[in-house]
Amino acid sequence: MATEIERKFLVKDDSWRGLRQGNRYRQGYLSTHPERTVRARVAAGKGYLTIKGKTQNATRAEYEYSIPVQDAEAILDELCARPLIEKTRYRIDYHGLVWEVDEFEGENAGLVIAEVELASADQAVALPAWIGEEVTADPRYYNANLIANPFSRWHG
């Protein structure tokens, strides 16, 4: 079984900007059941279908498959729940780990989250200065939940 071990953090300032060029992502969900999610994604001209299990202590099963980009676009346009997740992802190397900083657009504009994938749940992580509050255990920040409850609706 493929396993993803990931921690999520809010980004507290803009000092990370300019460290790397970002790639635009467009993704949507076919299923957002609490026990499993199924999403389609287009990033850097490639298509993906991803199935994820329930998160438990920053760990969950994950299976990702490449699919033709035309199929991914059609799934996004015709089958996925709205709103789609639109974001720019920046990959930043820091102390031997790759941080993925997602700057959201559309109904989630204003939200910036950093994620880091780990080899084990207890792996020590050096936090960059621009990292803020950890939100790994807060389901509001899961991409699958941002379609039902977009960030733009949190403060109104």
What is the set of active-site residues?
29
Element (H, E) at 75: helix 69-78
What gap in Å lies between CA 49 and CA 38, rounded to an integer?
7
Task: Give the number of C-alpha atoms closer than 13 A to the C-alpha of residue 39, restricted to the C-beta side.
Answer: 27
Hunting for tokens 């920040």 — which residue is that? 141
Hunting for tokens 């709103």 — which residue is that? 83
The residues that bridge with 64 in the sheet, in sequence order, are: 50
Query: What burial letters (b/e) apply to 56-95, b meaning 16+ CB within 10 Å?
Result: eebbbebeeeeeeeeebeebbeeebeeebbbbebbebebe
